[in-house]
């Protein structure tokens, strides 16, 4: 599967999955530790919106993921980059399709290109594995 946007133009990396929403979420959860990351938090935005009385026909879960070694490298360089951590992997539905995406770390952390490239490549591998 190819990214749905041109990486050099757009800060987002989004791919379609043949999996159901629930299966894609489970696949992300399983893929994350195999790539040296951990899931720090999970936010079900669809359920949150519906619970507050807003109509949300689509599903969306945001997985907050982090690699401690890479996070420590980033924070040694600039503590202000705490605003970019943890990384987020979004699994959502859109027009009947299950999609997985992230904000690309390389454009976001241009000052830390080597670590950002490694994180980006790992997150893309997680999304590819989880998409099936």
Domain ranges of the chain: 18-131
Q: What are phi and psi for residue 60, nearest 5 degrees? A: -155, 120
With both helix axes pointing from N to C terminus, report the angle between 113-131 and 68-77 in degrees, rounded to the nearest 10: 150
Place of tokens 């999996």: 19
pLDDT recorded at residue 2 = 42
State the pLDDT at residue 6: 42
How many CA atoms within 13 Å lie on the side-chain side of 13? 24
> What would the CATH number be for the domain defined by 18-131?
3.30.310.70
pLDDT per residue rounded down to tens, the chain (132 residues): 444 444 445 789 999 999 999 999 999 999 999 999 999 999 999 999 999 999 888 999 999 999 999 999 989 988 888 888 999 999 999 999 999 999 988 776 676 677 778 888 999 999 999 998
Tokens at 4, concatenated: 């749905």
Whole-number pLDDT of residue 60: 97
Give the separation between CA 65 and CA 85, rounded to whole angstroms.
Answer: 8
What contacts 80, CB < 8 A, 6 or more positions away?
none
Write phi, then psi, for 62 (nearest 5 degrees). -110, 120
């Amino acid at each position: 599967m190819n990214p749905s946007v041109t990486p050099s133009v757009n800060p987002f990396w989004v791919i379609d999955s043949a999996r159901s929403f629930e299966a894609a979420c489970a696949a992300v959860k399983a893929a994350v530790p195999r790539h040296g990351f951990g899931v720090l938090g999970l936010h079900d935005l669809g359920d949150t919106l519906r619970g507050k009385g807003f109509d949300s026909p689509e599903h969306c879960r945001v997985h907050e993921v982090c690699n401690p070694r890479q996070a420590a490298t980033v924070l040694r360089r600039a503590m202000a980059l705490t605003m970019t951590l943890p990384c987020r992997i979004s699994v959502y539905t859109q027009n009947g399709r299950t999609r997985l995406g992230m904000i690309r770390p390389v454009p976001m952390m241009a000052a830390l290109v080597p670590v950002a490239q490694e994180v980006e490549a790992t997150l893309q591998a997680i999304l590819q594995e989880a998409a099936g």
